[in-house]
Amino acid sequence: MVIKLVKTTVSVIKADVGSYPGHSRTHPKLLEVATRMLKEAEGSILIDSYVTHCGDDLELIMTHTRGEDDEEIHKLAWNVFTECARVAKEMKLYGAGQDLLADAFSGNIKGMGPGVAEMEFEERGSDPLLVFMADKTEPGAWNYYLYKIFADPFSTSGLVIDPSMHQGFTFEVHDVVEKRRILFDTPEESYSLLAYIGAPSRYVIKYIWKKDGTIAASTSTQRLNLMAGRYVGKDDPVMVVRAQSGFPAVGEVIDPFRTPILVAGWMRGSHHGPFMPVGIHDANCTQFDGPPRVVCLGFQVSNGKLIGPVDMFDDPAFDRVRVRCCDLADVLRAHGPFEPHRLSLEEMEYTTLPGVEKQFKDRWEDLPE
């Protein structure tokens, strides 16, 4: 039996178009509307689709053969978000349409508010795919994990014992402030890579490839506050990772999430908090609008069809990291409005703090020499 290889595009596009109560979770009605609209597009521009949520973010997972940055795919996602925002406004959901920064679609959804992670690849005989979705944090939250998955042999043993990964991987890093990009090869440039991605509020991993150019991972790098010039909510990034047969195994991809790292976001997008891996049923941000959450859905891709999903973090193996995240949350919350729980002043520039500073700008006096 010959398995036909097809070139498939996976597009994961997300937006916060309204939630209840407050910033906690996406309303089931919005999931129903989005699911219906994507199903209507299957057989025309889509092959398959799946709709879910992480916290207050509506997540659209779509497969097709049109490549990245396709206008029709992005227009479909935009239409879904605007219709869901309309429904959210009718229900008086909180923050209805808050991630939609434009009044009308203009050819590409990038720069209009929603987050986008896409990749195009020729399917293998078996193609495991992991889709990660986060709430109450920023795109740089993926940096630590992507390094552990694709560059750290103490985390991914396949980098040492699998000959197909011995050459390492190429990382594309974006400077989201200066809007520029750079490539680093690992393992030979690992230290230089770390010099940048260790500052995740500015330097964000966008793509990872094998040395032969085969795509391995793709993330969303959209920074809402930089696009809008003001605080409109956290970016709540998404990420797509391929696994097995020349890539890290599924278990190697998700194992680093057993470490509770601290990420920026949480309440009002102004605090550091632990990044908690949870099942979809626990992807509802409550305590201080958090802590920041991450979910992972696993699929097999077969001629563009999504076989699954499997809720990868709905597993007792991640119970201990969830407890540790709660312990870290207690320590940080005890700091109240003080750093390091609150973000640094530089990172607070696009939060609501500048509104407070304006009230007192005329009361500051120069110190006598």
pLDDT band at 1 (very low <50, low <70, confident <90, very high): low
Residue tagged active-site, from 127, 234, 255, 311: 234
Neighbours of 364 (CB within 10 A): 7
Q: Of the candidates 75, 54, 52, which has an alpha carbon nearest to the alpha carbon of residue 299?
A: 52
In this predicted model, what pLDDT tens digit does every residue of 101-110 receive, in sequence order? 887 898 889 8
- The predicted-structure confidence for 148-171, as pLDDT tens digits, reads as follows 999 999 999 999 999 999 999 999
Indicate if 362 belongs to the active site: no
Name the catalytic one among 144, 196, 231, 350: 231
Q: What is the mean pLDDT of the chain?
A: 94
Q: How high is the pLDDT of residue 355?
A: 80
- Whether the pLDDT of residue 325 is over 80: the answer is yes
pLDDT at position 234: 66
Residue 224 in this model has a pLDDT that exceeds 70 = no
Confidence class of residue 346 from pLDDT cuts 50, 70 and 90? confident
**Residue 324 is encoded by which pair of tokens?**
């540790």
Please tell me the predicted confidence (pLDDT) of residue 104: 83
Instruction: Compute the 3-state secondary structure of the chain and give helix, strand, coil in percent, each to the nearest 5.
Output: 30, 30, 40
Do 187 and 195 meet the contact criterion of CB atoms below 8 Å apart?
no
Q: 0.75 cut: is pTM over it?
A: yes
Residues 6+ apart with CB under 8 A from 115: 13, 14, 15, 139, 220, 222, 235, 236, 237, 238
Strands (E), the chain: 7-15, 48-54, 57-64, 115-122, 127-135, 169-175, 180-185, 203-210, 215-219, 238-242, 262-265, 271-274, 276-277, 293-302, 305-311
Residue 15 vs residues 61, 127, 137: alpha-carbon distances, Å? 12, 27, 13
Whole-number pLDDT of residue 287 = 95
The tokens describing 234, both together, are: 């956290």
Q: Which two tokens stand for residue 251?
A: 């278990």
* Torsional class of 231: left (φ above 0), alpha (ψ -120 to 50), beta (otherwise): beta
Q: Is 236 a catalytic residue?
A: no
The answer to whether 31 touches 293, Cβ cutoff 8 Å, is no
Mean pLDDT of all residues in 201-227: 90
pLDDT reported for residue 227:
57
The bridge status of strand 115-122 relative to strand 169-175 is: unpaired
d(Cα 179, Cα 186) in Å, to the nearest integer? Answer: 23
Distance CA 328, CA 135 (A): 18
Q: Residue 276 — pLDDT band, cuts 50, 70, 90? A: very high
133 CB burial (10 A radius; 0-12, 13-18, 19+): buried
Distance CA 290, CA 288 (A): 5
Kindly tell me if the per-residue pLDDT of 198 is higher than 80. yes
Range of lowest pLDDT (33-37, 43-47, 58-62, 266-270): 266-270
Q: Is the pLDDT of residue 186 over 60?
A: yes
Q: Give the mean model confidence (pLDDT) for residues 138-156.
A: 97
Q: Dig out the tokens for 243 from the structure.
A: 């696994």
pLDDT at residue 354, rounded to an integer: 80
Q: Check: CB of residue 238 under 8 Å from CB of residue 134.
A: yes
Give the start-to-end residue ranges of the domains of the chain: 7-350
Is 231 noted as a catalytic residue in this protein? yes
The pLDDT tens digits of the residues spanning 47-66 come to 999 999 999 999 999 999 99
For the beta carbon of residue 291, count every other beta carbon within 10 angstroms. Answer: 31
